[in-house]
Chain A
Amino acid sequence: MAHAGLVEEVIDVGAVSATVECPENGAVVLFVGTVRNHFDGRAVQGITYDVHAEMAAREITRLVAEEEAAHDGLRAALVHRFGPVAVGEASVVIAVSSPHRDLAYESNRRLLERLKREVPIWKHEHYDDGTSTWREVEPLGGAG
């Protein structure tokens, strides 16, 4: 496995990408999710990410391992921030390499969608007017 986990510091996008690059793979697809400066018409100052550190690290590792196990030659990396993240900074970086591009595109998207549904991470959005909102969207398996 290339690289999977949570970090508090700014993500080195090139370093994450480098972990999946290899001579056998002719495609690298890189997704960089950044904090945008607006949500629902409101000006956003930044996002603080709350995480269950142990579970989230384990789930991210599992997602990456499952993706790699399901496709010969595929290499994947997924790194997510926790704590405060400023507007414009990357909150998540996903890199996938594969022998051909179709799989790399599909796999990268699948990892992002699964991350959003299966990993205990929460956005706390802070607005310019001093208020904040927790974004709570996807129930984890077994909820309710």
Chain B
Amino acid sequence: MLPAGPESTPGRRYPAPMRVTVLAFASLGQTLGWKRREVDVPEGTRADGLLAQLLAEAPEMEPHLARLAVAVDGEVGPRTAPLRDGGEVALLPPVSGG
């Protein structure tokens, strides 16, 4: 529950924020200037919603978006994957081990 500010509408129920840990690897981490960050998102946010929120803050990540795999809680999956409070979202550029 968000604290009621002077502009809040009395009686309106705000969605409780969730806090997720976002990990940005390789060139994406370099572009963003961070590798790990806690991010607050509205309850019910999916991976694609988080990406949109991050993009709004950091338009410079746009060229990376199409190439990223997204792992929610360690599992690579569709961008429609739901997030959970306390969960982890890893943004994974194409890999190059070996």
Contacts and interface: CB of A to CB of B under 8 A. Distances in A.
| Majority DSSP secondary structure for residues of A touching B | mixed
B95 A140 contact: yes
Interface stretch (B7-15, B37-45, B54-62, B70-78): B70-78
Contacts of B4: none
A55 B74 contact: yes
B96 A122 contact: yes
A121 interface: yes
Contacts of A121: 95-98
A124 B23 CA distance: 17
Contacts of A92: 97-98
Given A122-B93, A142-B78, A143-B67, A136 B98 contact: no
B98 A91 contact: yes
Contacts, number: 93
B69 interface: yes
Q: Give the interface size class of chain B.
A: 20 to 34
Nearest to A116: B98
25 contacts: A52-B23, A92-B97, A112-B98, A115-B97, A115-B98, A116-B96, A116-B97, A116-B98, A119-B97, A120-B90, A120-B95, A121-B97, A122-B26, A124-B26, A134-B27, A134-B93, A136-B95, A136-B96, A140-B76, A142-B76, A142-B77, A143-B67, A143-B68, A143-B76, A144-B66
Interface of B: 23, 25-27, 29-30, 66-71, 74, 76-78, 90, 92-98
